[in-house]
């Protein structure tokens, strides 16, 4: 009897603990970092790479517009949060009809300020695939969830109200689009359809949509500018316009609304809606649970043990961000609109994606996707090749399936080459190589839409071996040289000797702009002379001469494929002293250049050109400083609250993916594009990290990283084993990871300066290719 009572007592203690155990998806917080964030970083309801990114907006058309956590109001819930793109904002209101949104600093509902509503901040909730808040105007509980291409709204009104659901086509955001032509039509008592032809700069696109309700619309109308149209079935025009659907809601009534969009046609939007929403039969919770299930499957591919609750929150939120901001633009049946505005067809299982540029994603997203989701990497490669096949060029992004010219170089090449080198080869390899060669041998062009395809300043680069300051940023030389190296590695892997020799030679072009007197990458004239009015912290630029969003100090370390080459030019002592001094000076700024003043500090983790900096000590004989400073960046730059998530530009998952890789203690300075890809080792955050390997691409089931005795204080590696054998170097091959096994690190509070610091211990570089392996 005593044993039975003891068992019951122990069970009563254990069961609550079991019930409270969290899954990885429970740690991901979409509200984290949503203060001072970009349009693409929001707390809304979306699926991985969702076409619909249903989220609240509360700002005007300003830089870093969209959702600002510190503002206590909402001006609408819009469907598209893709770079340079927006569309179809929805807002429930009560009382007198008001069709003006109103300014962000005037949220009191009324004719002077608009339909914008304050919110009860304590009611705001967000989790992967779900967002909810109660609006003060009418106390309307507004809940959002979604599938990939369709949205689901649930409005709950506590009192009887004259409810207006506004469909506003004019959405203010970072790149507010002009509405060239639009039409909204009431098709039936329960269904509305429409389109909005929009343009910003080079990006012109049409958002087609279908909206349906679970009960009949009582009154329909719209507005064009200040003109209100009632008792009509159609609203057509341009500029600031929209429509409204009116209901007389009862006490505690729930009104459901489903939506879907397409860039192809209204018929395609309806197909997206019916295909993705009909199986759920108006069950909001079923759609919400489906979204959670998808996100859970994604985030559970990495399981961590140990660490603090805050560290887990940071880890899984950063992982969530790595898959949330970029956009699927092909419909459920594979139709999409290509760069020539023609409707094309692809395999529905291999979507066409859109995004900002993949500028330096070789230091973050490429690594994470290829390791954890090689199927996603494969889909990205196929998307690039689809756009190449229809448009003639590989895209840098693309936004809305257009050639934008943003940013510099063609770093999609690194993703393609890295995919092949890691065994992700289920795409047309010869066509991919042809596309890469075209990109790196043909000067870029201005597109009919005034965008840009290919590389700028490329004719001079090919002729002179560098970009002269009379034309553009000297930093482009470094980026082009890296892409050349990626092509050389692809050629080598394919046995194409001629192309390998051509591009491996060009991969050394970075030396043409390295000034051996000052030991910096320096601006250079066409005649070969150095620019005299210059210093290591000058000349950051976006479209002029100098250094793209950086300075000479930062770009002098930008040489992903040949760190040893820079070490040889700079000298080991100068390299280490300069780098360590830069970290010490930048720590007070938490490694972030505030106000996008990129040239003010040495280590600016808040922007792409500097994200490899902490890992460079592995190459220079001081791996303990890599262990130290990667930890410092994770602690200082990255936060765990809405007000502090990422201090700089999170930029569609790049900062998130860097954190995930670094928290696991892994990184690829060369972007993983070498013939034999490898991982450098840092200081893992967690005692145990288990990576589930995709059996379609990788032979091992799991790879486990154990860090014994690890803590923030015990951040230094004392010794290491790989699959039970001693590992004395701060790196190992990708092949040794994906065949399964384990990396075991013994950690301590003081650096072991003997581990991984010998001259031959450095990871491979173009100037010092290492051929050792455990096998």
Helix axis angle, 309-321 to 284-299, nearest 10°: 100
Give me 313's structure tokens.
Answer: 């929150």
Contacts of 323 (CB under 8 A, 6+ apart): 48, 49, 298, 373, 376, 653
What mean pLDDT is predicted for residues 559-584?
A: 98
146: pLDDT strictly greater than 90? yes
Q: H-helix or E-strand containing 248?
A: strand 241-249
Q: What is the mean pLDDT of residues 316-336?
A: 97
Helices (H), 613-708: 623-636, 654-664
Angle at CA of residue 235, ends 229 and 260, nearest 5°: 125
* Residue 105, pLDDT above cutoff 80: no
CA end-to-end distance (rounded Å), the chain = 59
**731 has which bridge partners?**
680
Residue 432 in 3-state DSSP? helix
pLDDT at 20: 61
pLDDT band of 450, cuts 50, 70, 90: confident
Mean pLDDT, residues 118-138 taken together: 97
Compute the average pLDDT of residues 732-745: 98
Q: What is the pLDDT of residue 480?
A: 98
Q: pLDDT averaged over the chain?
A: 94
Query: CA 496, CA 50: separation in Å to the nearest integer?
Result: 39
**Whether residue 771 has pLDDT greater than 60:** no
Closest CA to 175 of 406, 504, 419, 437: 406
In this prediction, residue 773 carries a pLDDT of 36
* pLDDT at residue 2 tops 90: no
Q: Is the pLDDT of residue 141 over 50?
A: yes
Q: What per-residue confidence (pLDDT) applies to 543? A: 83
pLDDT digits (tens, 9 = 90+) for 513-550: 999 999 999 999 999 999 998 999 999 988 889 999 99
Burial class (CB in 10 A: 0-12, 13-18, 19+), 594: middle
Composition of the chain by helix, strand, coil, percent to 5: 30, 25, 45
Q: What is the mean pLDDT of residues 583-607?
A: 92
Concatenated DSSP letters of 350-397 = S--EE-S--TTGGGTHHHHHHHH-HHHHHHHHHHHHHHHHHHSS--SS
Give pLDDT, residue 597: 85
Tell me how crowded residue 467 is: count the other CB atoms within 10 A of its CB. Answer: 30
Report the alpha-carbon distance of residue 185 to residue 208 in Å, rounded.
Answer: 12
The mean pLDDT of 97-121, rounded to a whole number, is: 80
* 23 in Cβ contact with 634 (< 8 Å): no
pLDDT of residue 635: 98
Domains of the chain: 24-297 (2.70.98.10), 301-322+609-760 (3.30.2080.10)
Residue 397 has pLDDT above 90, yes or no: no
Q: What is the mean pLDDT of residues 152-169?
A: 96
Number of H helices, E strands in the chain: 18, 39
Region of 185 (left: φ > 0; alpha: ψ -120 to 50; beta: rest) is: beta
CA distances (Å), 434 to each of 275, 340, 439, 748, in order? Answer: 37, 21, 9, 49
Q: Nearest Cα to 549, choosing from 590, 467, 604, 591?
A: 604
CA dist 211 → 228, 270, 361, 454 (Å): 21, 9, 36, 39
Mean pLDDT of 31-50: 95
Region 445-459: what's the mean pLDDT? Answer: 92
């Amino acid at each position: 009897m005593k044993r039975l009572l003891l068992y019951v007592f122990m069970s009563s203690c254990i069961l609550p603990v079991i019930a409270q155990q969290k899954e990885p998806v429970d740690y991901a917080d979409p509200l984290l970092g949503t203060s001072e964030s970009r349009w693409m970083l929001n707390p809304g309801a979306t699926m991985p790479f969702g076409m619909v990114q249903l989220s609240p907006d509360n700002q005007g058309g300003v830089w870093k517009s969209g959702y600002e956590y510190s503002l206590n109001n909402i001006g609408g819930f819009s469907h598209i949060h893709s770079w340079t793109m927006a569309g179809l904002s929805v807002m429930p209101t009560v009382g007198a009809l008001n069709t003006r949104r109103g300014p962000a600093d005037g949220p009191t509902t009324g004719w002077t300020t608009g339909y914008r509503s304050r919110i009860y901040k304590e009611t705001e909730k967000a989790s992967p695939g779900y967002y909810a808040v109660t609006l003060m105007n009418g106390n309307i509980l507004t809940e959002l969830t979604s599938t990939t291409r369709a949205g689901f709204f649930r409005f709950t009104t506590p009192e009887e109200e004259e409810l207006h659901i506004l469909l506003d086509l004019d959405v203010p955001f970072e790149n507010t689009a002009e509405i060239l032509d639009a039409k909204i039509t009431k098709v039936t008592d329960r269904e509305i359809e429409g389109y909005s032809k929009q343009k910003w700069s080079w990006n012109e696109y049409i958002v087609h949509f279908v909206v349906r309700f679970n009960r009949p619309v009582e009154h329909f109308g719209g507005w064009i500018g200040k003109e209100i149209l009632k008792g009509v079935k159609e609203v057509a025009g341009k500029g600031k316009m929209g429509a409204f659907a009116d209901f007389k809601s009862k006490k505690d009534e729930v009104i459901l609304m489903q939506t879907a969009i397409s860039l192809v046609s209204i018929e395609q939007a309806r197909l997206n809606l019916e295909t993705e929403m009909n199986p759920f039969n108006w069950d909001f919770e079923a759609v919400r649970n489906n979204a959670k299930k998808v996100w859970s499957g994604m985030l559970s591919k990495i399981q961590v043990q140990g660490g603090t609750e805050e560290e887990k929150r940071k880890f899984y939120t950063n992982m969530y961000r790595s898959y949330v901001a970029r956009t699927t633009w092909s419909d459920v049946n594979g139709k999409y609109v290509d760069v020539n505005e023609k409707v094309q067809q692809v395999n529905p299982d291999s979507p066409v994606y859109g995004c900002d540029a993949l500028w330096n994603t070789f230091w973050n997203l490429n690594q994470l996707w290829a390791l954890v989701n090689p199927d996603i990497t494969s889909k990205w490669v196929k998307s690039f090749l689809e756009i190449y096949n229809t448009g003639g060029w590989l895209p840098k992004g693309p936004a809305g399936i257009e050639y934008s010219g943003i940013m510099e170089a063609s770093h999609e090449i690194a993703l393609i080459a890295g995919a092949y080198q890691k065994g992700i080869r289920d795409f047309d390899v010869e066509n991919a190589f042809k596309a890469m060669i075209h990109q790196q041998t043909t000067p870029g062009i201005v597109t009919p839409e005034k965008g840009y395809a290919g590389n700028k300043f490329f004719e001079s680069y090919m002729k002179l071996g560098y970009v002269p300051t009379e034309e553009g940023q000297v930093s482009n030389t470094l980026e082009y040289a890296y892409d050349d190296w990626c092509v050389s590695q692809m050629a080598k892997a394919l046995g194409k000797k001629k192309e390998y020799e051509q591009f491996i030679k060009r991969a050394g072009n970075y030396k043409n702009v390295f000034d051996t007197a000052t030991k910096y990458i320096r601006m250079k004239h066409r005649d070969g002379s150095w620019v005299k009015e210059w210093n290591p912290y000058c000349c950051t630029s976006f479209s002029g001469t100098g250094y793209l969003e950086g300075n000479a100090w930062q770009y002098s370390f930008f040489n992903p494929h040949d760190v040893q080459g820079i070490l040889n030019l700079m000298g080991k002592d100068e390299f280490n002293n300069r780098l360590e001094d830069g970290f010490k000076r930048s720590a007070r700024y938490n490694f972030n250049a505030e106000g996008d003043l990129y040239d003010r500090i040495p280590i600016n983790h808040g922007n792409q050109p500097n994200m490899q900096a902490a890992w460079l000590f592995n190459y220079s004989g001081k791996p303990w400083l890599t262990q130290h400073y990667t930890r410092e960046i994770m602690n200082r730059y990255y936060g765990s609250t809405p007000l502090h998530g990422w201090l700089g530009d999170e930029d569609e998952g790049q900062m998130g993916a860097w954190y995930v890789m670094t928290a696991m203690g892994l990184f690829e300075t060369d972007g993983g594009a070498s013939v034999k890809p490898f991982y450098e080792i840092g200081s893992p955050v967690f005692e145990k990290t288990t990576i589930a390997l995709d059996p379609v691409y990788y032979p091992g089931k799991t790879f486990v990283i154990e860090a014994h005795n690890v803590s923030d204080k015990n951040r230094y590696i004392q010794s290491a084993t790989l699959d039970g054998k001693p590992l004395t170097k701060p790196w190992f091959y990708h092949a040794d990871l994906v065949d399964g096994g384990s990396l075991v690190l013994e950690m301590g509070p003081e650096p072991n300066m003997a581990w991984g610091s010998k001259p031959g211990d450095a990871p491979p570089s173009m100037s010092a290719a290492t051929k050792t392996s455990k096998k």
